[in-house]
Amino acid sequence: MSFPLHFSAEVKAAIENKKPIVALESTIISHGMPYPKNVATAREVEKIVRANGAIPATIAILNGNIHVGLDDDQMELLGNSKGVWKVSLRDLPYVVSQKLNGATTVAATMRIASLAGIKIFVTGGIGGVHRGAETTMDISADLTEMAQTNVAVVSAGVKSILDIGLTLEYLETLGVPVVTFGSPDFPSFYSRKSGFATPLQLNTPKDIAALLEAKWEMGLNGSVMIANPIPADKEYPFEKMEGFIQSALKAADDKNITGKETTPFILKFIADATGGESLESNIALVFNNAVLGARIAVALN
Ligand code: PSU
Ligand code: MN
């Protein structure tokens, strides 16, 4: 490798001692949630991963250096400073060579996790096929990355700001298994249901780990989408959310928001419109995913 990965002491020790490790993304910190809840959530997620037997490795780029495992000051900087890049795959070489600060998306985090030898990655929601993609062609690089990189992604499903049906079709085309933990319904982030049945259901971390092993042992490269429904008492009502999403999409259209700005714009619009209520659901589901991700990492180890 012609560039170094900068490991925190905790992650370095975990690699040396072959402990289970869970990768965490940083776009959710810099562009997915408002300060200071973003930083508090990121720290709590790391604690939850540890409490469930694995070591957390939050991934980000600082001054062009790729970090795997962050300290408190680095987390604070990502959560509370201007000009942090949202780094998907195509942005990686620019932000590294220009020595900038960057928060990595699911796609970029997966790739770096893979370079670091980490197999399990926990986030809130992945990017997908956007509503209207048949004309905009707005399809997240998260999906194409999932087709090729051997890192499993635990999320709360696909947010209904996206076209959930098209996202599931696209994942099928790419050969990415979609497994929902403990439910026949594919979840839609704020809701336990999406109107779509899950393609696959497994009910224990052990069974999910066995599926990952089978996939990768067969040389079937790429990710597995592990969907973890939000706890029932934290759900945000589906109909209410749909109204806000419609408004958010219209506002994005009116303001000509396109490309990489689209997802952060819509997330912020919804958080503002729901008066922070949806943010509480968002935080709860990330915690829930951290528990499952750590348990799968332990089972896989
Ligand atoms: N969905 C969320 N919260 C997020 C994201 C998506 O509910 O923070 C972030 C993730 O980092 C994801 C990225 O990888 O947005 C997708 O961006 P895009 O659609 O531009 O690929
Ligand atoms: Mn996009």
The CATH number of the domain holding residue 136 is: 3.40.1790.10
Is 1 inside any structural domain? no
Among residues 290, 299, 300, the alpha carbon closest in space to that of 121 is found at 290
Pocket test for ligand 1, best of 142, 228, 265 (most atoms within 8 A of CB): 142
Nearest CA to ligand 1 atom 10: 105
CB 80 within 8 A of CB 39: yes
d(CA 301, CA 299): 5
88: Cβ below 6 Å to ligand 1? yes
The radius of gyration computed from the CA coordinates of the chain, to the nearest angstrom, equals 18
CB 273 within 8 A of CB 31: no
What tokens does 158 get?
């696909």
Which residue has 């020790």 as its token pair? 13
What tokens does 194 get?
């999406």
235: Cβ below 6 Å to ligand 1? no
CB 152 within 8 A of CB 199: no
Pocket test for ligand 1, best of 24, 25, 26, 27 (most atoms within 8 A of CB): 27
Is 293 inside any structural domain? yes
Is 162 inside any structural domain? yes
Specify the amino acid at residue 151: V
Pocket test for ligand 1, best of 263, 265, 269, 274 (most atoms within 8 A of CB): 263
Distance 268 CA to ligand 1 centre (A): 12
Is 24 inside any structural domain? yes
Model-wide pTM > 0.75 = yes
CB 225 within 8 A of CB 155: yes
What tokens does 220 get?
């079937």
What tokens does 141 get?
């690089």
Distance 178 CA to ligand 2 centre (A): 21
Ligand 1: which atom is nearest the Cα of residue 106? 14
27: Cβ below 6 Å to ligand 1? yes
Specify the amino acid at residue 202: L
Specify the amino acid at residue 217: E
Give catalytic residue positions. Answer: 25, 159
**Residue 237: predicted pLDDT:** 84
d(CA 48, CA 70): 16
**Residue 178: predicted pLDDT:** 98
**Residue 1: predicted pLDDT:** 45
d(CA 56, CA 44): 11
Is 59 inside any structural domain? yes
What tokens does 77 get?
């900087």
Phi, then psi, of 202 in degrees rounded to 5:
-130, 150
62: Cβ below 6 Å to ligand 1? no
Is 55 inside any structural domain? yes
Distance 260 CA to ligand 1 centre (A): 9
Ligand nearest to the CA of 146: 1
Q: Which residue ranges of the chain lie beneath pLDDT 50? A: 1
Domain boundaries, position 218: 6-300
Average pLDDT of every residue of the chain: 96
Ligand nearest to the CA of 127: 1
Number of domains the chain is built from:
1
Is 95 inside any structural domain? yes
3-state helix, strand, coil in the chain (%, to 5): 50, 15, 35
102: Cβ below 6 Å to ligand 1? no
